[in-house]
Each structure stands twice: as C-alpha cells, then as structure tokens.
Amino acid sequence: MGIGIVMADLVLCREELEAGTLIAPFPDMVCHSPLDGICLLGGADKWHIPKVEAFKSWAHDTSEADRASVSHLMHD
C-alpha cells in the first residue's frame, strides 16, 4: 500500500473511496465549483444551435447525476 496525497474530483475517485482504498481524511474540506460542476466554452454564434443545446443539456444532466452519486462522500 502506498502513502501519499491526492487532490482529485470526487466523481473520478468515487470507486476507490467507496472501496476504502482511498480515504478522505477531511470530508468537510471539499472545494465546490462556483459554476455548478461544469464549465462549457463555445463560440457565441453557435451557442444556441440544436446540437450544442443538446450537448449542453446532456452535460448538465450528467453532471447532476455524478454529483448525486458522490453526495454521501461530502459534508456541507
């Protein structure tokens, strides 16, 4: 077993946290994103075309599901 420190997204290390191979010694010290978990960039002229709207909707829904899946690992 290694010894070290990891700063990572809770979604990316959820399986390790749940399995106990990685621990969160300070679960109340979680950095929250002011952008609600996602940040999308794109050209203003294409921001509202249907394909981009569909992608933005998918990204938001996926982010919500991911955030819900790790909510038990965080202390607000």
- Give residue 70's pLDDT: 73
Q: Is the pTM of this model over 0.75?
A: no
Q: Is the model's pLDDT at 50 over the cut of 90?
A: yes
Q: What is the DSSP letter of 76?
A: -
Q: What is the DSSP letter of 25?
A: S
- Reduced to 3 states (helix: H, G, I; strand: E, B; else coil), residue 39 is coil
- Reduced to 3 states (helix: H, G, I; strand: E, B; else coil), residue 48 is coil
Q: Is the model's pLDDT at 53 over the cut of 70?
A: yes
Segment 18-45 shows an average pLDDT of 75
- Helix segments in 3-49, DSSP class H: 14-19
Range from 5-9, 28-32, 41-45 that averages highest in pLDDT:
41-45
**pLDDT band at 66, cuts 50/70/90?**
confident
